Structure 1
Amino acid sequence: MIIKRAIFTACAMAALATAQAQTPKVYTIEADKVKAHIEPTMYGIFFEDINLAADGGVYAELVKNRSFEFNSHLAGWQERQKNGGKGSVEVVDRTAQRPENAHTIKVNIESNTGSFGLSNEGFRGMGIKKGETYSFTVTARKPAGSLIKLIAELHNASGNVIGTGTLTPTSANWKKYNVKFTATATEDKASLYVWLKGKGVVDLDMVSLFPQHTWKNRPAGLRADLVQKLADMKPGFLRFPGGCIVEGRDLVNRYQWKKSIGDIDKRENIINRWNTEFAHRLTPDYYQTFGLGFMEYFMTAEDIGASPLPILNCGMACQFNTGQLVPMDQLDPYLQDALDLIEFANGGPNTKWGKLRASLGHPKPFNLKMLGVGNEQWGEQYIERWKVFTKAIKDKYPSIKIISSLGPFAEGKEFELLDKTFRGLGADILDEHYYKAPKWFLDNAKRYDNYDRKGPKIFAGEYAAQSVATGSPENKNNWECALAEAAFMTGLERNADVVNMASYAPLFAHVDGWQWTPDLIWFDNLRSYGTPNYYVQQLYALNKGTDVVPLLNDGAMVSGEEGAYATASIDKNTKELIIKFVNTTDKAKPVTFSINSTSTYQKTGTVITLGNYKKDAVNSLDTPTAVSPVKSTIGLSGKSVTVTVEPATFKVIRLKMI
């Protein structure tokens, strides 16, 4: 491996030396001629609960099936005994009293000696950090006369205790109990043991374990390292909660936002539609607790400076599954959900849903500006429902921009029907999706060059280059795919007067629990890393500028000629010129950028380089930054800058105006 790397480095250096001996190709930048405004929402984040992204991922709960609501009510749990302890566990059905949290367990301790209890395996194990404080909570009740002591223990993979806390239920009524303790070792495959001592009976529900240090240290909050990676992208928007989970395999299993807010133990669990979607990655233990619900989504968007973009079901289940439809005369509850959501996000304390938001700890409105009607729908049935939703929303909230689906494909009869229809109906924003081979992204960098400038705006809502085939479990987040996306994105930015939003998808994936690949950010129970694709997205988001200016080769845009792709923008806030240049070839390119501008520039600028890697280069948990940006400086000669762009490289150049 070391020898191969040395050979590759030597070859790259030789290519660089050859390039430096060549005459640089001259590109012209008309820095005073604004071509298009770049929206603050240009580069954002698409979140979906796939690949254990929520439960087992960004939602920091460590206990799987904490409220015993899986179809197999004790899934994730195993009865345990030690030192002669005896007992039994009974699942209690209380559907009539609490349909949203229908099951509890009754534990009968039959012996005064030893201990009896249950262990929980977590989400492919539990990630525990030495020195971290953990908060164990349980809702319990015990009949009079029962003297039950409860001991929570963390065990490492070898069975050793690495943290423990004790509490004693005291009430005959349901009551929440809590104990905190500190872990004595780090373990990525830990498990939780809940021991009960003392003869008697106790009822348990909502058995939970959270680290104290979550995102912004919110109790029972989000996993800090994963949210930090989102914040580090400085995204323009956060789309949530998906994806196909918005639709559900059937309408019973659709995402219902009103069930995802308020008290945690009143949020109705449902099975995740991705649990059996792919035969190659079956995950029958994949459920949604909605601990990460709409309130948390809105707050996270606010935390990271992103505009919230919720997507709602429009009365259609996933058309790749059941395709179940709500009759047109029964759409009112779905419409009301949309109207109520806008009031929840933006309403004042004198409104029903605004008052609820305030009672949940956020009196200030969330400033919702956009709303998606349906996820990846298509056909006449979608069009007729879209019309009803659009009229109802626009009649009450005319300023809300509606995101409209153009289906799951980037071309074809379904796409063409929706594109033509919605343009004729004056839609606000059209959502296009493409999961294609890297070559498609290179060939389609000009996709938006000839779109109608007076028509609807475009949201490139889901896209990712597929190294093998769309949906293949063999797809990799390699440099070839990331480089193709970087080239394609020059076309998005160059056409910012048409394309207002773009987001890679999917966002997160657990290394032991994924269903779909490639994905932007991978993680295990303790660590996480950004892929090469992540760094491409981040570089675009951090260096988007405010306005596009022409970058030309002999008067023409640079979009694939001789393997080069480029765009330029100015940032009126920082007074900088930003150049993005992608070299997709295996030869170094010496280039000169000649700047036509009334402004003058500082003598040195900043260069950020991502590339000169083999096409199959990837990042991993052990080498998280193998493919990552490197900063350097560059000198200017008047209004001209010369740089060599190495093979298979994406460069960003920032030049400060004086």
Structure 2
Amino acid sequence: MEGPPRTLIHLLLLLLCIASKCLGGASGLNSTQMVTLKVDASPKLARKIPDTFLGVFFEEMGHGGAGGIWAELVSNRGFEAGGPNTPSNIDPWLIVGDDSSVYVETDRSSCFSRNIVALRMEVLCNDCPAGGVGIYNPGFWGMNIEDGKTYHLVMYVKSPKTTCLTVSLTSSDGLQNLASVTIIVAGDSKWIKVEKKLVAKGTNRTSRLQITSKKKGTVWLDQVSLMPADTYKGHGFRKGLVSMLMDLKPRFLRFPGGCFVEGGWLRNAFRWRQSIGPWEERPGHFGDCWQYWTDDGLGYYEFLLLSEDIGAAPIWVFNNGISYNDEVNTATIAPFVKDILDSLEFARGSANSTWGSVRAKMGHP
């Protein structure tokens, strides 16, 4: 490695001369006094920059994760941006039709104990419009659907009577149909998991996902997910953005943020335990520093995978019992210390350890 560049040396000399002149004037010295500075920039005195010096810092803000590098296309897929209480906040879901043809509300009937809120949709019309009525989700500022690409749909549904649903990818006004699939729901009031492939027959940068029916009746929906089939290494990340990250050649990845980890209040801080396990069972949380809900599909485990995928050392930022507005007494800090130790065991422990076994069960022994 070579010594400091000449530009830097010249700048240092200039600053030193200015400082000398100012000090000389202040002390009554002759302003024409000469100062000599000798700089040894020979290679033998150079210090190599550590390989781990350059890296990237990820913060879940401005939808950098949810709606950004994480490829999930549905925003608020569990209908619980308002938390576990009902009525919950279902934004940005909206209805297809009007109040006379379809009625929606949230209740606490989900099959997932950690995120108990589900959406109840009642089709009111006997003679429904040709395209049916229901709900739609525009994603994060519109879904970028591309011609010929495959999208993986997962949703949970139940109904007391046999009914038929149509799940479609359409333009933002619902007029252009890019892909659709029909789902028959058995009328036994039992939650079922539906998995379908949607292949786009057209491109639209501001698409939406809609779920409609033309049959009068009631249906419950929960955990509606739509992911591109071609995520990076199948790990759920957008290929294009991961490629840009790799071009930076980062030696470390610091995650999942700073303010996001602290929270405006501790009750809204990021909790790694709630961000692991099956994505359907993650409760999500409201990031009150940046004022939006995340379902934590991009969780602790996924960040570790991303670090491994791009060849970067993971730097895990944890909460030490302090938020912007409150903190725990140091006498009661022990649970936070244990939480940190458990998170390290999850990342580095053997598959036989308590938390290492959870990681192994998720697919990384």
- Which of 235, 258, 263 is 1:243 aligned to? 258
Instruction: Name the counterpart of 1:268.
Output: 283
Map of 1:354 onto structure 2: 356
- Give the aligned partner of residue 336 of structure 2: 334
Q: Give runs of aligned pairs for residues 417-566 of structure 1, distance below 5 A.
A: none
1:136 correspondence with 2:138: no
Which amino acid is the alignment partner of residue 45 of structure 1? V
Q: Percent identity?
A: 35
Distance 1:73 1:127 in 2: 24
Q: Give the counterpart of 1:183 among 189, 200, 208.
A: 200
The one-letter amino acid of 1:222's match is F
**2:305 alignment partner AA:** M
In the alignment, which residue of structure 2 is the partner of 1:167?
Answer: 183
Contact 1:87 1:116 in 2 (8 A): yes
SS at match of 2:257: coil
Distance 1:34 1:265 in 2: 57
**Corresponding position of 2:143:** 126
Displacement, 1:109?
2.5
- 1:46 matched to 2:57? The reply is yes
- The change in CA–CA distance for 1:141 and 1:34 in structure 2 (over 3 A counts) is farther
Question: What residue number does 1:225 align with?
Answer: 240
Q: Residue 138 of structure 2 contacts residue 172 of structure 2 at CA under 8 Å; is this kept in 1?
A: no
**Which one of 84, 87, 104 corresponds to residue 118 of structure 2?**
104
Equivalent position of 1:205 in the other structure = 222
Q: Give the distance between the partners of 1:230 and 1:314, measured in 2 at CA.
A: 29
**1:132-191 deviation digits (Å, cap 9, x = unpaired):** 111122111222xx1211111112245311221222223632221011121122222111
Equivalent pair of 1:153/1:192 in contact (CA under 8 Å): yes
- The one-letter code sitting in structure 2 at the alignment partner of 1:151 is T
> Corresponding residue for 2:309?
303
CA RMSD of the aligned region, Å?
2.3
2: distance between equivalents of 1:182 and 1:240?
A: 34
Aligned partners of 1:109 and 1:200 also within 8 Å: yes
Counterpart-to-counterpart distance in 1, 2:228 and 2:100: 30
Determine helix, strand or coil for the equivalent of 2:338. Answer: helix
Question: What does the per-residue CA deviation read over 1:452-475, in whole Å, with 9 as the maximum and x for residues that have no partner?
Answer: xxxxxxxxxxxxxxxxxxxxxxxx
Alignment partner of 1:344 is 2:346? yes
Partner residue, 1:76: 92
Report the Cα distance in structure 1 between the residues aligned to 2:89 and 2:118, rounded to whole angstroms: 9
Distance in structure 2 (CA, Å) of the matches to 1:198 and 1:298: 45
Taking a change above 3 Å as real, the CA distance of residues 348 and 210 of structure 1, as seen in their structure-2 partners, is same
Deviations 1:195-250 (A, max 9, x none): 123333221101111111111234xx111111111112121000000011110000
The total of aligned residue pairs comes to 317
Give distance in 1, aligned partners of 2:254 and 2:310.
Answer: 13
The code of the aligned residue for 1:76 comes to P
User: What residue ranges of structure 2 are gaps of 5+ in the alignment?
Assistant: 1-38, 83-87
**CA 1:150–1:231 in 2, change beyond 3 Å: closer, same or farther?**
same
**Counterpart position of 1:289:** 295
CA contact (8 A) 2:263 2:270 kept: yes
Structure 1 residue matching 2:120: 3-state secondary structure:
strand
* TM-fit CA distance, 1:35: 3.3
Is the 2:269–2:287 Cα contact (8 Å) retained in structure 1? Answer: no
Q: Distance in 1 between matches of 2:206 and 2:256?
A: 28
Task: Please report how far the alpha carbon of residue 30 of structure 1 lies from its aligned counterpart in structure 2 after TM superposition.
Answer: 4.2
Residues 280-313 of structure 1, C-alpha deviations (whole Å, 9 max, x = no match): xxxxxx2111110010000000000000000101
Contact conserved, 1:150 with 1:167, CA < 8 A, in 2?
yes
Amino acid corresponding to residue 109 of structure 1 in structure 2: V
- Cα drift, residue 111 of structure 1: 3.9
Hey, what does 2:32 align to over in structure 1? Answer: none
Provide the secondary structure at the position in 1 that maps to 2:317: strand
Report the Cα distance in structure 1 between the residues aligned to 2:234 and 2:202, rounded to whole angstroms. Answer: 21
Confirm or deny: 8 A CA contact 1:167 1:178 kept in the other structure.
Answer: no
- 1:107-132 CA-partner distances (Å, limit 9, x unpaired): 22334543221011211111111111
CA distance in 1 between counterparts of 2:66 and 2:276 reads: 16
Q: Distance in 1 between matches of 2:360 and 2:162?
A: 41
Instruction: Determine the C-alpha separation between the residues in 1 that align with 2:76 and 2:262.
Output: 23
Amino acid aligned to 2:68 = G
Q: Note the C-alpha offset of 1:38.
A: 3.1
2:101 is aligned with 1:67? no
| Greater strand fraction, Structure 1 or Structure 2 | 1
Q: Which amino acid aligns with 1:77?
A: W
Partners of 2:109 and 2:215 lie apart in 1 by: 26
**TM-score, structure 2 as length reference:** 0.81
The CA deviation at 1:62 is 1.0
Q: Is the 8 A contact 2:270 2:285 kept in 1?
A: no
User: Match of 2:50, as an amino acid?
Assistant: E
Aligned to 1:234: 249
1:194 corresponds to which of 211, 214, 217:
211
Answering whether residue 272 of structure 2 is matched by residue 257 of structure 1, we say yes
**Closer/same/farther in 2, CA of residues 310 and 302 from structure 1, 3 Å limit:** same
Note the residue ranges of structure 1 that are not aligned, 5 or more in a row: 1-26, 277-285, 364-658
Counterpart of 2:146 in structure 1: which amino acid?
A: K
Distance 2:211 2:294 in 1: 23
Q: How big is each residue's C-alpha offset from its partner over 1:399-433, in whole Å with a ceiling of 9 and x where there is no partner? A: xxxxxxxxxxxxxxxxxxxxxxxxxxxxxxxxxxx
Query: Normalising to structure 1: TM-score of the pair?
Result: 0.46
Aligned-pair CA distance for 1:48: 0.4
